[in-house]
């Protein structure tokens, strides 16, 4: 494969299937016909590339793009994206002027934050729309439910601030069903407390896992992330329906025969038991191929064969046993994540979650779009 690159030739790259992402968004839409959607594209669309993914989904009838911070929102607006960015986490004070000026949407978790937005909106003589965050169990942002009643009159008295929505976030939708069900009731009660005072156009609490498993009567907006990238966090009707969106590939740079008793890679954690044909492959932890994958039974896929990775992951290279592969030569493609090796398999071996593997794919890997 020929890849345009700042390096020549490409050692490793990521292929992204934008149509598959659009397909997965359609699946979410079909499953939730009465719910609006906020595709979550923070952290460079989970390694798939912020601007290309945003461009593909823009004008796709979506309410917002979920981003991490003002920097990502700015990148979207510079790329000419028309869908409004929604900044998911708390904003820093120094980000807020830009947020207000650009009418990006964000959350408030304290009356102090609200007052700062009010001050900035008054300075520019505009009405600024915010969503009230409520902490129903995540412990990361939001008013505690019992603080809402005291907050209401204070925020209502801020003439340039308009509360347009209310949001929360499940901490364990994929792990603790009873807790999550109680949380949904709590969220419903919070919405009821607020509705008489603010016209809550958007009410949202579910990410991918929450969308799959639960009825949430008070919500009318959902925030799918991982689901868009082809991974269902819970076994569900989505299994087999979602399409994989990303392939991580590298190339063999060298093939050598090593005698028995020869170490492979740093620390010599692997020592050959027999004569072994070893392929050196041009990817390493500096690309996001996590060093915690060392010695965990990871396999790569070369010329139609699974090949065990040998020894530790190094910064720019890994080694694999290709003794059983009839013909391998430098330049051959190596699949690390893709149709034969799901990212969930890699995440489990690294003792982490697919989100971290995807967002860890580094800037040194060129993205190639189909
Ligand atoms: C990241 C994030 C999401 C998306 O989560 P997925 O599990 O990837 O679907 C939704 N909401 C918030 C607040 C987030 O931080």
Looking at residue 240, what is its pLDDT? 79
3-state secondary structure of 355: helix
Mutational pocket test of ligand 1: of 62, 140, 223, the residue with most ligand atoms within 8 Å of the beta carbon: 223
On the question of pLDDT at 1 being above 50, the answer is no
User: How do residues 144-192 score in pLDDT, each as one tens digit?
Assistant: 999 999 999 999 999 999 999 999 999 999 999 999 999 999 999 999 9
Give the Å distance between the CA of 186 and the centre of ligand 1: 20
Q: Running DSSP on this structure, what letter comes out for residue 155? A: H
Residues that are catalytic: 42, 266
CA-based nearest residue to 325, from 301, 346, 342: 301
pLDDT digits (tens, 9 = 90+) for 43-97: 999 999 999 999 999 988 999 999 999 999 999 999 999 999 999 999 999 999 9
Burial (CB count <10 Å: 0-12, 13-18, 19+), residue 287: buried
Q: Would you say the pTM of this structure is higher than 0.85?
A: yes
| Closest ligand 1 atom, residue 233 Cα | 7
Span from the CA of 263 to the centroid of ligand 1 (angstroms):
43
Percent of the chain whose predicted confidence (pLDDT) is above 70 = 97
The residues pairing with 367 across neighbouring beta strands, listed in sequence order, are 14
Phi/psi at 29 (nearest 5 deg)? -65, -40
Each residue of 16-42: pLDDT tens digit? 999 999 999 999 999 899 999 999 999
Sheet holding 221-222, edge to edge: 36-37, 221-222, 202-204, 161-167, 128-133, 105-108, 84-87, 64-67
pLDDT value of residue 210 = 86
Please tell me the residue having the least CA distance from ligand 1 atom 14: 88
How far apart are the CA of 94 and the centre of ligand 1, in A?
24
pLDDT (0 to 100) of residue 2: 46
Give the chain's mean pLDDT: 95
* For the chain, percent of residues with pLDDT exceeding 90: 91
Beta strands 202-204 and 367-369, pairing class: unpaired
pLDDT of 306 = 98
Instruction: Give pLDDT, residue 8.
Output: 57
Residue of the CA atom closest to atom 11 of ligand 1 = 207
Q: Which atom of ligand 1 is nearest to the CA of 169?
A: 13
- Count other Cβ atoms within 10 Å, centred on residue 144: 13
HSE, CB side, 13 Å, CA atoms: give it for residue 238: 30
| Distance from chain centroid for Cα 309 | 26
């Amino acid at each position: 494969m020929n890849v345009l690159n700042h390096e020549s030739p490409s050692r490793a790259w990521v292929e992204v299937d934008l149509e598959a992402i659009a397909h997965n968004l359609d699946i979410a839409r079909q499953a939730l016909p009465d719910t609006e959607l906020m595709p979550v594209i923070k952290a460079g669309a989970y390694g798939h590339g912020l601007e290309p993914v945003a461009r593909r989904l823009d004008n796709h009838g979506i309410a917002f793009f979920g981003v991490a911070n003002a920097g990502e929102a700015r990148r979207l607006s510079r790329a000419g994206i028309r869908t409004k960015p929604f900044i998911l986490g708390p904003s820093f004070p120094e980000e807020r002027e830009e947020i207000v000026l650009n009418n990006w949407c964000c959350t408030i978790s304290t009356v102090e934050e609200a007052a700062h937005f009010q001050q900035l909106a008054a300075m520019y003589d505009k009405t600024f729309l915010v969503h009230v965050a409520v902490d129903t169990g995540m412990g990361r942002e939001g008013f505690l439910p019992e603080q809402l009643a005291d907050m209401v009159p204070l925020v209502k008295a801020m003439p340039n601030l308009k509360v347009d929505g209310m949001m929360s976030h499940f901490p364990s939708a994929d792990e603790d069903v009873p807790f999550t069900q109680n949380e949904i009731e709590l969220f419903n009660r919070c919405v009821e407390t607020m509705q008489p005072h603010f016209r809550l156009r958007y009410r949202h609490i579910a990410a991918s896992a929450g969308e799959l498993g639960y009825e949430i009567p008070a919500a009318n907006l959902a925030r799918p992330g991982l689901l868009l990238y082809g991974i269902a966090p819970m076994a569900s009707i989505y299994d087999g329906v979602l399409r994989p969106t990303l392939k991580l590939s590298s190339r063999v740079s060298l093939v050598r025969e090593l005698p028995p008793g020869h170490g492979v890679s740093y620390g010599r954690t692997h020592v050959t038991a027999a004569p072994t044909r070893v392929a050196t492959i041009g990817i390493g932890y500096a690309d996001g191929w996590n060093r915690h994958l060392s010695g965990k039974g990871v396999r790569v896929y070369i010329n139609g064969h699974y090949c065990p990775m040998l020894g530790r992951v190094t910064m720019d290279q890994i080694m694999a046993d290709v003794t059983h592969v009839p013909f391998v030569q430098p330049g051959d493609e190596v699949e690390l994540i893709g149709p034969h090796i799901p990212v969930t398999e890699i995440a489990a071996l690294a003792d982490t979650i697919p989100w971290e593997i995807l967002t860890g794919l580094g800037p040194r890997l060129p993205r190639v779009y189909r």
